[in-house]
Amino acid sequence: MSARPSVVVVGGGISGLAAAWELSGGTRGPSDATPRIEVVDVADRVGGALRTATFDDRVVDQGADGFLARRPEAVTFVRDLGWDDQLEAIDASGAWIYLRGHLDAIPTSLVLGVPTTATSLSTLRGLGRRARWSLWRDRHLPRPCVVGDDATIGEIIRAKLGDEVALQLVEPMIGGIQAGRIDDLSAAAVFPALLTAARAGGSLQKALSASGPVSPGPASARSDGPTFFTLRQGVGSLPGEVERQLRARGVIFTLATPVTALRRSPTSFYEWEVDTATTTTPANSVVVATPPKITGRLLGQHDPALAAIGTIDAASAAMVTFAVPANDVHLPAEGTGVLVPLGTPYGDDTLMITALTFLDRKWPHLRHDGRVLVRVHVGRSDDQRAQAMDDDALVTRVRAELAVLLGRWPQAGETMVVRWNEGLPQYRPGHLERVERAREAASSLGLFLAGNAYDGVGIPASIGSGRRAGRDALAALTF
């Protein structure tokens, strides 16, 4: 009787779990040909950044609180799990931006912060004349712009629409999603529709307007339904359900156990040996779904292209969630939150807050009579002030800034601080080429890469990355 094929998934975040789902048969389920599958993770629970906590008598996400519907990978995965009834559509729309002391509604015609109509900015009191002139010029007398294959987002926006539009509109939107700076982020990797529009020549606004709905990452599916979904028990409930179903399929989970090395096996049947402090597991293929630095450390000795993954840097961020009496705060009458441009003055300093999210407005299951949930986001790739503060100091600083942004803010109320150290990989110029070379090198060795360092930082992209790696690893098992 021949040995049973074996695949090890290193990393139990949502990408690793999605890979294990595909390895165990996907929507069809396991069969006689299904390999032995083991998921190994350093943490004592699966899910990585996706988790929930009970806060103010509500189950609140400590990581991402929702996911895009136009990128279908997350919605499809939830439905493949049979969890359709857990999907909850966003129940609010619109957002605000804080410009020069004013809270103004963000026009709906902006595409990731880039205006697409001449009249869309009439309501933005804090936008200067120079910015308005730059936008008028782009529509009527567009600047020529030679765009390279890997220009940054900032390079394109500054050349076509000027510095103020870049800093006051585009930076808060895209920089907030990536926790980075648009002058450092590759347009090809993060905002490919912008690169296409710039290469078309003529007005950037008109070209983007013609492209239709856009989200970060590769082209998204068009949808007339909700723009965002969450889960009724929180997005952080998803990993636990995937784990439950995978265990029922026979997938083995080894948690609270760091992988120490991936070595080539001396045997003829198993090509790899996956080491922990106490075990060695043979594998025909390995899916590596770990943060880039760990991936580079585990795989770098096998190929320089894999070592290069370890050079992908990641930004740290923090979130402070408040539960406060509704009567004690002055929130905008509608909308899901507020964006704050970097460099907004705050005394002799600048505001640390980059965005606010009104959680109980977005998601019906979080509503509570008389009390609102407001989440504050701080931290960027070049702003690590929050890292130098303990939780009490961070909450004190954030409360003071909220009083500036919203007019007043109570000193009392429940708070929850969550920190994500080096949690958001930065897609700098050269990212796509680096990832392509690494994937080619990995697959030639029977290794497959997954995670938010490759195809996008959001939940849909992470799930799609994992499912792709799982399918590729399964296809490589030819015996």
Inform me whether the pLDDT recorded for 1 exceeds 80.
no
pLDDT at 35: 97
How confident is the model over 318-363, as pLDDT tens digits?
999 999 999 999 999 899 999 999 999 999 999 999 999 999 999 9
23: enclosing H helix or E strand: helix 14-23
CA distances from 453 to 176, 207, 252, 295, 435 (A): 17, 29, 25, 10, 9
Beta bridge partners of 99: 102
What letter represents residue 139's amino acid? R
Report the 10 Å Cβ neighbour count for 461.
Answer: 24
68: enclosing H helix or E strand: strand 67-68
**What contacts 106, CB < 8 A, 6 or more positions away?**
94, 95, 96, 97, 339
Query: What would the two tokens of residue 82 be?
Result: 């049979």
- Report the candidate in 33, 36, 39 with the shortest Cα–Cα distance to residue 19: 39
How confident is the model over 124-162, as pLDDT tens digits?
888 888 888 999 999 999 988 888 889 999 999 999 999
What residue ranges define each of the domains in the chain, with the CATH number in brackets? 6-49+236-312+427-475 (3.50.50.60), 109-210 (1.10.3110.10), 314-425 (3.90.660.20)
> What does the pLDDT average to over 203-208?
91
- Report the candidate in 358, 352, 328 with the shortest Cα–Cα distance to residue 401: 352
| % residues pLDDT > 70 (the chain) | 96
Report the Cα–Cα distance between both ends of the chain, in Å, rounded. Answer: 13
Q: pTM score, two decimals?
A: 0.94
Given the structure tokens 């294990």, which residue do they identify?
Answer: 20
How confident is the model over 375-422, as pLDDT tens digits?
999 999 999 999 999 999 999 999 999 999 999 999 988 999 999 999
pLDDT at 121: 78
What is the spatial distance between Cα 317 and Cα 426, in angstroms, rounded to a whole number? 13
What is the spatial distance between Cα 339 and Cα 458, in angstroms, rounded to a whole number? 18
Beta bridge partners of 355: 339, 377
For the chain, give the number of residues: 479
What is the spatial distance between Cα 354 and Cα 423, in angstroms, rounded to a whole number? 16
What is the spatial distance between Cα 249 and Cα 25, in angstroms, rounded to a whole number? 9
Report the 10 Å Cβ neighbour count for 391.
Answer: 15
- Report the candidate in 276, 308, 307, 312 with the shortest Cα–Cα distance to residue 291: 312
Query: What would the two tokens of residue 425 be?
Result: 């990989």
pLDDT at 117: 75
Q: Which of these ranges, 106-110, 153-157, 190-194, 254-258, has the smallest mean pLDDT?
A: 106-110
What is the spatial distance between Cα 346 and Cα 55, in angstroms, rounded to a whole number? 30
What letter represents residue 353's amino acid? I
pLDDT at 114: 87
Interhelix angle 459-475/73-80, rounded to 10 degrees, is 60
The DSSP annotation for 291-342 comes to -HHHHHHHHGGG-HHHHGGGG--EEEEEEEEEEEEGGG----SSSSEEE--T
Q: Which of these ranges, 81-90, 218-227, 318-327, has the smallest mean pLDDT?
A: 218-227
